[in-house]
Amino acid sequence: MLSFVAVALAATAASAQEPLHVRLDQAIAADHIGPVAKLAADDEFIRRISVDLVGMVPTAGEVRAFLENQDPQKRQALADRLLADPRYPLHMAHAFDVMLMERRPDKHVPSPEWLAWLTESIRQNKPWNQLAQEILASDGADPALRPAAKFFLDREAEPNLMTRDVGRIFFGRDMQCAQCHDHPLVDDYLQTDYYGLYAFVSRTTVFNDEAQKKMLLAERAEGEADYKSVFTGDAGRMRPRLPGDPEVAEERFRLGEEYTVFPADKVRSVPKYSRRAKLAEVATNGQNRAFNENIVNRLWAQFLGRGLVHPVDMLHAANPAVHPAALDLLATEFPKMKYDVRALVREIVLTQTYQRSLDLPADVLAGVGEVDAKSVDVEKSIAELSTSDESLKTAFDTALDEFKAVRKTLEPAETAFQQSQAAVAAAKKPADDAAAALAKSQGELTGKQTVLATLNEAAAKSDAAAKALPADKEIAAALATFQARVASVTGEIAAVTKTIQDQTAASQAALAKLAETQTAGDAAWAALEEARKPLEAAKTKLHLARVAHQQQQVVLAAAKRRQQDLVAFKQHALAVAAVPAAEQQIAAGKTALVAATQAVEVQTAEVAKANTAVTEMAQQVATAQTALQEAQQQLTGKQEIVQVVAAAVTQTGAALEKLPGDAELVVASEKLKARLEPLSKDLVEYKPVVATRETVLKDMQAKQTAVQQQMAVAMTELTTRQQAVASQTTAVQQAESQLASARAAVETTLASLTDHWTIDGRLRGLKPLMPEQMAWSYLQATGVIEQYRQASDAEVEAKLPKAQADQDPAQKLAREQQVAQLVYDKLKGNLGVFVQFYAAAPGQPQDDFFATADQALFLANGGVLNSWLNPSGANLTQRMVTLEDPAAIAEELYVSVLARQPSAEEKAAVVQALAAKPTEKPVVAKELAWGLLTSAEFRFNH
């Protein structure tokens, strides 16, 4: 099964006849599922490309002309015009300076010289590989290339710093953590990788050239890249090796024959073979993939805000390009373009990816229906790739074990060679000493021979004079003196000659000994090279296994990243779908809650009705109880009276038995009996009344129990219905909470999706202006540059009239360059303060956004921006003050500062601000301009 990366590559290859920017868009589009943002509006595009290519916002006139232009090819024409603009090399020089030097302080090469060299290189459109070759190879001795040596000189040629920065800046690999052991977080970065680069630069040193009063780079011919892991103890020696390549083959020189200029006191050593020059050669010859990928990735990041691989110095298999096919295409085509930076920049800015809008697509979920099917394909691909990756990892581990085993077999030959070199060094010293002594004696002999020749000539002339004037004693004395000196020097020459003979013999003996050791050393080297053959074979096998594994890891990691993109898309779709479901649940819950509430109200009425019945029945029971109590009390009274009267009758009868004839007792007895009878009758007759009332009470109590039970049932039902209301209320609250969570999930997943889409180019991201872009954009927007441009144009006019230059394209271009350079030279002093406040720390990556209180105070209280905003000449605020129509003032303000028309609300705000202070128009104009210039919209390119 072809991976989606392979499919993208195949699709890109099939359209090779298309321009590169079209093929790039095709490669990127092949990875997309779902919608992409529309292209940026014309005003957004002209601001973006102007800031990117010439380092400043466009003028109001440039914006209006571009917006009015109806040519469908106007964006391409604008790109071409800006790439030919004299400001392009001035701006790109700063961009390359930041990339290469990362705002390090000057040490040995002044920044103006360096920037001038970069500017001229970019103006000439020097190929990137040539520029890099000059930077890596220059030693600072050649005045024309001395600025290029800044990269190493201003890093003091510190070997580990050079290794790290060469790896980061030229090959996209920050291997600092692999200095003492394999990288703990990045499997790709091995200690051997670090020392492969270290071997190229570790012999380079800084040399103080006192005669020229400048620091230069020197290089030793000796010094090896030995390493040992502090974790595993694994040790070895690396020859120079670029990331992704095998070790570089090196020429061997005998000890004592390795220098063109030997090291000595105050002498800059120059080896016959320069490892640093070799680095410059093999890095820039077009064959090293890492070198090619790094620069195209960095240029992509410069214009898109982030690299296809990000961070740009973390190229490795676990951090693949977001669009591998696009990176592969760029890295393949750039060498074919002969490393033409301007041509590549043109292709980048003409891509639709570069021109995308900042705003999300109108229908974010378009195409989400394809996600499930695509996810299945990607999951299947990941499974297959993972299986293959395990196999390749096993092959790599096996090759690594074999390499380590073979490396141990090399130790005897290495030891023998080192011993032979020690013997050569030991033999070389007496040979060098003998040669030095012989050379000294030969020099002494030559001097004496010169003196003798002079003395012989003087003696001959004195002899001729003596013969001509035989009587002249002074001439005779002089002749004798010369003859004596000739004899003396002749003796000295004989002695020196004898010494030379002896020294020659000694030197020849020492040289013979040295030759013997060198021959032995050559034999030891040959033996070592022969012993190395299995190791080289093992290295080759290991290298191929590693490359195969890394390539598979790249494809696997890319597939996993694409899976994450699909997951983010699906999660957002699910989150969006959950919102209406939650809303429906809330609606249903609220409907049920209304019904439950109504049921409670109905039942509450029933409870009230039952409560009334219970109350009424309680009153009736109480009345019956009272009536019963009264009847019972009356019955008791009647019973007591009957009992009393009956007792009196009984007692009277007892008395009559004792007093039978007592008439009064008889009368009393009769009267009592007569009274007892109706009372007894009344008592008998009243008992049913009590019984009736008891029955009434029982009936009432039974009814009371019934209504109380009805009341209890009603209350139970009311409680049930109230609980239903509470339960439904809770359900609604939970549904509302779920809705809030769903809406929050929509925001969260949309933010995640936005991040994914910004990374993969479907959406344009914000890119902070670099400090230099901020400075030039402030100067442009406020109108300061135009004032200086007019003054500079007048200066050039005196030397090269515009009317004359317009007749010759070369003169016209030269004139434009002179004006641009003059403007730059006059205003570049303003850059430092912006670098001070807005740049990252020296030696650190410079692409991260940060905000500080000092930045805010600088804009609020600093005199720089405020002075540029004081109305004068034809600057921005003066133009605003001159205009009468408030709407026209708003339009001039927004077009000049933000390169766009104001919205209706923004225009109304400007009109309102002017109307609020009709007599303070200059003050209001300055406040309005300051507000826009300090806005977040101005600080970012988007």
Longest dimension (CA), the chain: 239
Question: Quick one: pLDDT at residue 15?
Answer: 54
Q: At 590, list the tokens.
A: 């609220």
Average pLDDT over residues 165-179: 96
Question: Quick one: pLDDT at residue 175?
Answer: 95
Average pLDDT over residues 429-446: 89
Average pLDDT over residues 849-854: 89
Q: What is the DSSP letter of 241?
A: B
Question: Quick one: pLDDT at residue 8?
Answer: 47
Average pLDDT over residues 366-383: 92
Please check the confidence at residue 774 and state whether its pLDDT lies above 70.
yes
- Alpha-carbon span 496 to 445, nearest angstrom: 6
Q: What is the overall mean pLDDT for the chain?
A: 93
pLDDT in tens, 626-667: 999 999 999 999 899 989 989 988 988 888 888 888 888 888
Residue 501, strand partner residues: none
pLDDT in tens, 675-701: 888 988 888 988 899 999 999 999 999
Run of H or E including 261? strand 259-261
Q: In which region does residue 564 sit, left (phi positive, over 0), alpha (psi from -120 to 50) or beta (all else)?
A: alpha
Question: Quick one: pLDDT at residue 478?
Answer: 87
pLDDT in tens, 730-761: 999 999 999 999 999 999 999 999 999 999 99
pLDDT in tens, 334-355: 999 999 999 999 999 999 999 9
Upper half-sphere CA count for residue 195 (Cβ side, 13 Å): 19
pLDDT in tens, 808-820: 999 999 999 999 9
Question: Quick one: pLDDT at residue 723?
Answer: 96
The tokens 């949309």 sit on which residue?
750
Please check the confidence at residue 7 and state whether its pLDDT lies above 70.
no
Residue 785: is it exposed, middle or buried by C-beta count within 10 angstroms (0-12/13-18/19+)? buried
- Of 56, 66, 39, 58, whose CA–CA distance to 899 is shortest? 58
SS3 sequence, 310-347? Answer: CCCCECECCECCCCHHHHHHHHHHHHHCCCCHHHHHHH
Q: What is the DSSP letter of 460?
A: H
Instruction: Indicate the residue type of 45.
Output: F
The phi, psi pair for 581, rounded to 5°, reads: -60, -45
Please check the confidence at residue 779 and state whether its pLDDT lies above 80.
yes
Question: Quick one: pLDDT at residue 436?
Answer: 87
752, 32 contact by CB (below 8 A): no
Reported in sequence order, the residue ranges of 101-244 that DSSP labels E, i.e. its strands, are: 204-209, 214-219, 225-228, 235-238
Residue 412: count other Cβ atoms within 10 Å of its Cβ: 12
Q: What is the DSSP letter of 942?
A: -
Question: Quick one: pLDDT at residue 3?
Answer: 46
Reported confidence tier of residue 17, pLDDT bands at 50, 70, 90? confident
Q: At 728, list the tokens.
A: 């439904």
Residue 180, strand partner residues: none
Average pLDDT over residues 28-49: 95
Average pLDDT over residues 155-183: 96
Q: At 684, list the tokens.
A: 């008998």
Reported confidence tier of residue 161, pLDDT bands at 50, 70, 90? very high
pLDDT in tens, 227-246: 999 999 999 899 999 998 99
- Say whether 922 sits in a helix, a strand or coil: helix
Ranking 15-19, 367-371, 580-584, 864-868 by mean pLDDT, the lowest is 15-19
Q: At 382, list the tokens.
A: 């990941």
SS3 sequence, 580-628? Answer: HHHHHHHHHHHHHHHHHHHHHHHHHHHHHHHHHHHHHHHHHHHHHHHHH
Please check the confidence at residue 729 and state whether its pLDDT lies above 80.
yes
Q: What is the DSSP letter of 766?
A: P
Reported confidence tier of residue 462, pLDDT bands at 50, 70, 90? confident
Number of H helices, E strands in the chain: 32, 8
- Alpha-carbon span 163 to 174, nearest angstrom: 9
- Alpha-carbon span 644 to 680, nearest angstrom: 11
Average pLDDT over residues 84-107: 97
Reported confidence tier of residue 16, pLDDT bands at 50, 70, 90? low
- Alpha-carbon span 402 to 229, nearest angstrom: 19
Quick one: what percent of the chain has pLDDT higher than 70?
98
255, 304 contact by CB (below 8 A): no
Helix%, strand%, coil% for the chain, nearest 5: 75, 5, 25
Question: Quick one: pLDDT at residue 657?
Answer: 86
417 or 65, greater pLDDT: 65
Please check the confidence at residue 463 and state whether its pLDDT lies above 90.
no
Question: Quick one: pLDDT at residue 479?
Answer: 84
Question: Quick one: pLDDT at residue 12?
Answer: 47
